[in-house]
Structures are given as C-alpha cells and as structure tokens.
Homo-oligomer: A and B are copies of this chain.
Amino acid sequence: MKIAALAGGVGGARLAHGLAQVLPPADLTVIVNVGDDFEHLGLRICPDLDTVCYTLAGLANPVTGWGRSEDTWHALESLATLGGPGWFRVGDRDLGLHLERTRRLGRGQPLSQVTQDFCRAWGVAQRILPATDDNLPTLVYTEEGEMPFQEYFVRQQCRPRVTGFHFEGAQAARPAPGVLEALAAAQVVVFCPSNPWVSIDPILAVPGVRAAVQSRPVLAVSPIIGGQTVKGPAAKMYTEMGQEASALAVARHYADLLAGFAFDQVDAPLEEAVRGMGIHPWVTDTLMRTVEDRRRLAAEVITFCERLTTDCL
C-alpha cells in the first residue's frame, strides 16, 4: 500500500511514525507543512518538518512531542541572560540542526535537499518532503490584528481570536521536488490528525497539490476528538471561525476531497452524518498515547486504505 501522508506537527508526526512502523520504507512519503516556518535569531526554523523528522528518527522529545529528546537549554538561557528573545524554546541539540540548515540554505541548497541529507544522516529511510522549497509563511488574522504564525502560536499562546488565515506566497510557491510524484504514485493520500486550518490547508495551497490530491482516494484522520484537540488550537479555531468544533467540522472542512474519514469512537454518533456526505466513515480509537497506539492506529488506517481502494466498504 503506497501512502502519501500530509502532516503538520506533533499529531501528524505520531501517525506518520506509526505508518513508518507498518509500511515498507519505500511505500511511505510524508509531505510536511512549512507554513509555520520562520526566521528567528537569524536561523530558519521549521517546527513541523523537524517534529516529523525527529519523530521518525526516534529523536523526538517524548514529553513535549516537539524538540529533541534529552536536550539542554544552555544557549537559550545564556541568550536570555543577555536580554535576547527567549520566548521561542530552542534546545541546544535542536539549535545545531537550525544552524546547519541555515548554513546550507544560505549556500543555495533547497530545503528538500537539506531535509533529505539530514534524514540520511539520522538513518530515516522514509521520504520526508517539505510541501515546498519556497517561502509560504502562514499569517493569522485575529481580532488583535494579523500576525505571523509563531507569534500567534508560541508567543501569544493562541490567545487572540482568529478571523482567518493567509498563506503568503502561495500563488508563487512550487511543490518541492517529489511531492507531485509521491501524490501521483500514492494508492491513498492520508491526511494525518493535524490542524486542518494551519497544517493541512497550507500544503493544499501550494499550486498543483490540491489537484494531485484530488486525483487520489483521500483518507483523513480527525484531529478533533469529542470536540477537543489533543494538542494545538484546531478546536478553538473552528469555534472562532463560527463552526462547532467537532470531527464533523473536520470532515466538512475537507469534504470534496475525502473518500474516507477516520474519527474517534467518542464521536461515533457522527457516523451517519459523515456517510451522508458521501464519505466512508471509520470509527476507532484515534488517541495516540503510546508508540504502540501509533502503530495500531496506522495498521487500522492501512486496513481502511485497502478497503477504500478495493471498494470493500
């Protein structure tokens, strides 16, 4: 089963990690959001991409989900002592990555190439691709004005009420090398349980990606469970955008793209409504607490994918 998985940060990385455990490496390509990338301390920081890479490399911080395991914070402490901006938490080992990536980008290497080299160094056999090598920063429109994503997400801790989103540069962005090919080759495209507004939408905003996705069967896994998210502001965003925060809102978000939709058993009552949208529902336990949960959910996703592609539903 050849899968192209679209992913944002922690939740997406967890399912991608599960898929990496149940699929042969060559059968999985993870296409990652770069809308939350930003320039900080002169460094190019790619939070979602790094979370996916660290997770598949077995280097992710198991407590936070982001950042490196067993990292230290000495550089940030030293910088903050000197009056520098300490609001974005960068660990020391993580910093080594940002420095080397920034150095390579400065020499003209595209982000996709840098990512591939890093994955090779870590022994990650699956293909992890940024959605685009171009800049595509997410702007969050809020009642307190528009702000870059990390300003909203980390510095303001998602406090401002959102009114919309803009993916700057989307018109000119080109899919990173391999993205359209991976989508075309995929038997099923999986939308990981990532934030639809700011993780999956920016990937779909890259010209050519939505059409490529649309040509394949798509299965989305709901990031909303019982009206809430495990992590991140997706549920809050639905409410502020005038929609009830629910798995159904996620299904509606992607509506015309979806062949199948997996959501949690606590949302089982939504099954008929999903089916009514012409989307195959799959009710299961979608919460990934442990590494074994990731593997189990991924195996179920593959089973669901097989049924979708063989019309056994």
Contact = CB atoms under 8 A, between A and B. Distances in A.
Task: Work out how many copies of this chain go into the complex.
Answer: 2
Contacts of A68: 78
Contact of A41 (B72, B78, B84, B99): B99
B94 A78 contact: yes
Interface in A62-98: 68, 71-72, 74-85, 91-97
A118 interface: yes
A286 interface: no
Contact of A79 (B78, B81, B97): B97
**What size tier do the contact residues of chain A reach?**
20 to 34
Interface in A97-123: 97, 99-100, 102-103, 106, 117-118, 121-122
Interface in A42-57: 42-43
Contacts of A82: 96-97, 100, 117-118, 121
A78 B93 contact: yes
A84 B102 contact: no
Given A42-B42, A84-B103, A103-B42, A96 B71 contact: no
Contacts of A71: 74
A99 B83 contact: no
A42 B74 contact: no
Contacts of A95: 74-75, 78, 92, 95
Interface in A257-295: none
A68 B79 CA distance: 13
A100 B84 contact: yes
Given A41-B103, A106-B42, A121-B83, A97 B72 contact: no
Interface in A27-52: 41-43
Contact of A84 (B43, B83, B96): B96
A91 B75 CA distance: 8
12 contacts: A41-B100, A42-B42, A42-B43, A74-B74, A74-B93, A74-B95, A78-B95, A78-B100, A82-B100, A82-B118, A84-B100, A84-B103
Given A42-B106, A75-B99, A92-B92, 8 more contacts: A41-B103, A42-B99, A74-B91, A79-B96, A79-B100, A83-B100, A84-B100, A92-B95
